[in-house]
Chains A and B, each alone.
Chain A
Amino acid sequence: MSTARLLHVVRCPPVFALVRGLILTALFCMGCSAIAAEARIAVAANFRETAMAIAAQLEAKSPHRYQVIVGSTGKLASQIINGAPFDVFMAADRRRPQQLVERGLALAASEQIYAVGELGLWWPNGPGTPALDALATLEPRSVCVANPAFAPYGEAAWELLQRAGLDADWLQSIVRVDNVNLVAGLIAQGQARAGFVARSSLIAGKRQGTVAAADGDVLWFAEQAPVDQAMVLLTRAETNVAAQHWVQQMQTPPIRELIQRDGYRVSVKQD
């Protein structure tokens, strides 16, 4: 049985953690040339598909194994504060990773912006090109946004809406959902008329065949509301080679290409 297969078989259930440990130790002692490690990557919901693709690519080119855990940025950060066993945190904002650094839970030196996301207003079958101030003609119940309390794309959308000077009562009654991916799904199904989506969700949805947005139906806010997505290596993973490898690879050309393909911009500075 090959090493890879053996690892795969014993990777799953927690009761086998001990067995896995023993086998890994045995493999190590047998003098396996490369040291394989595992890392858990906590990823903001909008980056899910891209993170999976990155994991597949890194796994193909290294002995390491990666698990991608998806949630909204705010929820993942609070889980990390409450002891969640993650190794790398890929947020959809800069604030949460910084907060973790301040609490000593993440390493300041590892902090970097890995992608800049784009927020858009998707309004299919609307009156021509979507416009912010025209939104008020819709029932607030049919307008959807990621919850600004813990989802960065929702936060960015909320700021735009407030600056657009929409009626406060109307604004309070719009629908807030768990993360930005859900917004695209609700509009695609016709459960919401319009909403604030991430370019990456539309691209991922299109690939899966669940979402189809015509170009003219989306108003993009690339300049007004860029969403800087930052990542950090968590302190508990300081010595985890798989996690370190993930962080180091993020600014390399093949990975940056993957990120761009999925609808993000990458920061200009290249190392």
Chain B
Amino acid sequence: MSGDLQAVWLTALLAATTTLLLVPIASPLAWWLARSASPFRSFVEAVVAMPLVLPPTVLGFYLLIMLNPESVVGGLWVELTGDSLTFSFSGLVIASIIYSLPFMVQPLQAAFRAVPESVLEAAATLGASPRDRWLNVVLPMAKRGYLTGCVLTFAHTVGEFGVVLMMGGNIPGETRVLSIAIYEHVETLNYDAAHMLALGLLCFSFLSLWLVYRYAGHRFEVVRG
């Protein structure tokens, strides 16, 4: 059981780290996507949305190739830290950021798009600096978008399986997240333990979605994945 508690803790840690890192990464990206008239916008939008339709095994396979110790990125990481990026917690964080990117970007983009240009102009005429406008006008108006984005990112990362299976291995305390722990319990005929974790995840998923529908209304756009 202590192994399962460790998996719960590790999963929460992975999901929290991913969510925290995605907020600063996704915010400027979503803002640009919501406001830009650039011809590249649809291109970037498509790239960001890819993890929604791509099989996780494809993502996992490319990450395995890109991050393994003989590759450029993976080799550099080994030189800097002495550890391999594949089959490590750091590697999983990188994978989760890519895998959950649309779940943060899309709700934020919808929230930013709903901020009327006129309100921002009014704030500007009243002497608000761009920073001021962002912190005191945009942010409060996009609060629900952030809530939706954070809950969905967290929940989606908790539910990650294919990517971890491909490039995470099954290392306790490092990459053995909940979904992998369930898989191993089933593989080793330990159905009681599998039931307990599976039921826990089922309740958690329902609660997160309920939270989103209850408090963020029906304004969020991500439904697939």
Chain B residues near A15 (CB-CB < 8 A) = 13
Chain A residues near B78 (CB-CB < 8 A) = 83
Contact indicator B87/A82 (Cβ below 8 Å) = yes
Are A45 and B191 CB-contacts (below 8 A) given A67-B171, A71-B170, A82-B64?
no
B174 to chain A, nearest CB (A): 6
Please, how many angstroms separate the alpha-carbon atoms of A179 and B188 in the complex?
A: 10
Chain A residues near B186 (CB-CB < 8 A) = 182, 185
* Among B78, B85, B188, residue most surrounded by chain A Cβ atoms (within 10 Å): B188
Contact indicator B184/A84 (Cβ below 8 Å) = no
Interface residues of B (CB under 8 A from A): 6, 9-10, 13, 64, 68-70, 74, 78, 83-89, 167, 169-174, 184, 186-191
Inter-chain pairs besides A48-B188, A67-B172, 7 sampled, C-beta below 8 Å: A40-B171, A45-B188, A70-B188, A82-B69, A82-B167, A83-B84, A210-B189
Please, how many angstroms separate the alpha-carbon atoms of A14 and B89 in the complex?
A: 7
Pairs across A and B, CB under 8 Å, 18 listed: A12-B6, A13-B9, A48-B188, A67-B173, A69-B170, A83-B70, A83-B86, A84-B84, A84-B87, A84-B169, A84-B171, A85-B84, A85-B88, A85-B174, A188-B189, A208-B189, A210-B190, A210-B191
A184 to chain B, nearest CB (A): 7
Decide if the interface of chain B is mainly helix, strand, loop or mixed. Answer: loop
Contact indicator A178/B9 (Cβ below 8 Å) = no
Interface: A211 (CB within 8 A): yes
Interface: A3 (CB within 8 A): no
B60 to chain A, nearest CB (A): 11
Are A85 and B171 CB-contacts (below 8 A) given A12-B6, A15-B13?
yes
Contact indicator A11/B189 (Cβ below 8 Å) = no
Q: 8 Å CB contacts to B: which residues of A180-196?
A: 181-182, 184-185, 188
Contact indicator B189/A83 (Cβ below 8 Å) = no
Are A69 and B9 CB-contacts (below 8 A) given A83-B86, A208-B189?
no
Are A211 and B189 CB-contacts (below 8 A) given A12-B9, A14-B173, A70-B184?
yes
Chain A residues near B188 (CB-CB < 8 A) = 45, 48-49, 70, 181, 204
Interface: A62 (CB within 8 A): no
Chain B residues near A49 (CB-CB < 8 A) = 188
Interface: A79 (CB within 8 A): yes
* CB < 8 Å neighbour of A181 from B84, B85, B174, B189: B189
Interface: A140 (CB within 8 A): no
Chain B residues near A83 (CB-CB < 8 A) = 68-70, 74, 78, 84-87
B35 to chain A, nearest CB (A): 36
Please, how many angstroms separate the alpha-carbon atoms of A204 and B190 in the complex?
A: 11
Contact indicator B87/A85 (Cβ below 8 Å) = yes
Please, how many angstroms separate the alpha-carbon atoms of A82 and B62 in the complex?
A: 12
Contact indicator B169/A11 (Cβ below 8 Å) = no
B64 to chain A, nearest CB (A): 6
Please, how many angstroms separate the alpha-carbon atoms of A130 and B9 in the complex?
A: 46
* CB < 8 Å neighbour of A84 from B70, B86, B189: B86
Contact indicator A82/B68 (Cβ below 8 Å) = yes
